[in-house]
Structure 1
Amino acid sequence: MPLYKTITPNSQTTVKIWKITERYEALLQPLTLRAESMKRVVGMKSELHQRGFLSVRHLLAEFGYTDADLYYDENGKPHLKDGKFISITHSFTFSGVIVSDSVVGIDIEKQRQKIAVIAHKFIGYEFDYLVTTAEDYINKLTVIWCIKESLYKLFATPGMLFREHFLVIPFMLKDEETIAWIDYEDRKHRYETRFFEFEGFTCAYVC
């Protein structure tokens, strides 16, 4: 399937999402990959991960980039050679890329009941305002996880913890936006976050 969704939150930022319906061979055939990238994708044990990796390269092409335009730093954070900021995500049958003139982060997660089992590991302050109805609870947990994962990708600093260092301000699912804070080593950073739900998945991105 071609591009699933394009969002332009502001004039300097674009989000693109791909629905992965193609098989591995169909995704690979039109791409030109660096030897390093080819080695990486061939070494993946799961075809689901292979397809996610390749779909991200198709999203890069939608932005006008190739695999050779992307590189990763020592913390695993992706960068573009032209100096624009990028963040990447994929989950099961969806992948997403955000590109901006300023630092950004993005995450997509499938909405699943089992997130409640690990909630205590990434939720602290947020427990105070979460509704306890089952559907809203799981969906709001997923939003919070996606926002915190996006913040982690954006800040890319080893030692940061979701529960202790990231705060998500109360929100309603219908609002599709909220404020989040990073509180780390006596420094506070405020970020605008947006989120939306689709086909049993949640996507959040941070600018």
Structure 2
Amino acid sequence: MPLYQIFSIQSHTKVYIWKITESFNELFRSVILKDVSLARVEKMKAESHQKGFLAVRKLLEIAGYDDFDLFYDDFGKPNLKDQKHISISHSNEFSVIAISDYNLGIDLEILKDKTLKLAPRYMDVSHLENLSTADALEKATIIWGIKESIFKIKNEPGISFKDHIFENKFNGKDGKCKAELRFENQLELFEIQYQLIENYVLVVAFMSV
């Protein structure tokens, strides 16, 4: 079934997950797009990106919205007209959205060897010490998702994953941890939740209050 899962994070956030099993034409015929979105779909070169984009619109409908309720700011960050916060991600056969009373970032990443190979470029690899290859891959993917999610919240030019976003040491099986953004002489703290969905890692970040 394409609607894969809906779950809540406390009382303030809902996460909607779509597993893409439809053809492009099936998805395209099932949603109504505003002109700017239609033009965006037509410019996408990869069908997987088109389907991910359309699946997000299906999730919006399930959440009680449509494409006309969604707009993007000058930095490409999605917003809803009713001023609820929204974050969006898609990877291969899954699309996800999170809608919240609080500013948040969500990221979905498939487990792939390349993420582990590139780990020295974006994280402190000491966090992977004494782990099996499988556990190291999972944790490296979680950490990438943490950094991506925090970047989606802040959405400011110049933020470096390796130099400015730092995850506290954590057990990759706990489902939650904390992270920091140290940027332009300011320190901001974040609460992180993560989980496995098949062979993907889903990460949600919130600013600490």
TM-score scaled by structure 2? 0.95
2:184 aligned with 1:182: no
- Ranges in structure 1 where 5+ consecutive residues have no aligned partner: none
For residue 164 of structure 1, what is the aligned residue in structure 2?
163
Letter in 1 for 2:139: K
> SS of 2:179's equivalent?
strand
**Conserved? CA contact 2:88–2:97, under 8 Å:** yes
User: 1:171 deviation in Å?
Assistant: 1.7
> SS of 1:190's equivalent?
strand
C-alpha distance in 2 between matches for 1:148 and 1:7: 22
C-alpha distance in 2 between matches for 1:201 and 1:11: 25
For residue 68 of structure 1, what is the aligned residue in structure 2?
68
> SS of 1:68's equivalent?
helix
For residue 114 of structure 1, what is the aligned residue in structure 2?
114
Letter in 1 for 2:128: L
Give % identity.
40
Letter in 1 for 2:42: V
For residue 50 of structure 1, what is the aligned residue in structure 2?
50
4+ residue runs over 6 A deviation: none
For residue 195 of structure 1, what is the aligned residue in structure 2?
194
CA offset digits 1:101-135 (Å, max 9, x no partner): 110000001100111221122113xx223234211
CA offset digits 1:36-65 (Å, max 9, x no partner): 101111221111111000000011111111
User: 1:7 deviation in Å?
Assistant: 1.7
User: 1:185 deviation in Å?
Assistant: 1.1
Equivalent residue runs for 1:140-159 within 5 Å? 140-159=139-158
2:51 aligned with 1:89: no
C-alpha distance in 2 between matches for 1:22 and 1:169: 39
For residue 100 of structure 1, what is the aligned residue in structure 2?
100
Letter in 2 for 1:146: G
CA offset digits 1:162-182 (Å, max 9, x no partner): 001111112222211101111
CA offset digits 1:120-158 (Å, max 9, x no partner): 22113xx22323421111110000001110000011111
TM-score scaled by structure 1? 0.96
C-alpha distance in 2 between matches for 1:101 and 1:135: 35
> SS of 1:181's equivalent?
strand
User: 1:8 deviation in Å?
Assistant: 0.7
> SS of 1:129's equivalent?
helix
Superposed CA RMSD in Å reads 1.0
**Conserved? CA contact 2:56–2:88, under 8 Å:** yes
C-alpha distance in 2 between matches for 1:198 and 1:76: 27
C-alpha distance in 1 between matches for 2:126 and 2:133: 16
**Conserved? CA contact 2:116–2:141, under 8 Å:** no
C-alpha distance in 1 between matches for 2:189 and 2:3: 31
For residue 128 of structure 2, what is the aligned residue in structure 1?
130
Letter in 1 for 2:68: A
User: How many residues in Structure 1 have an aligned counterpart in Structure 2?
Assistant: 205
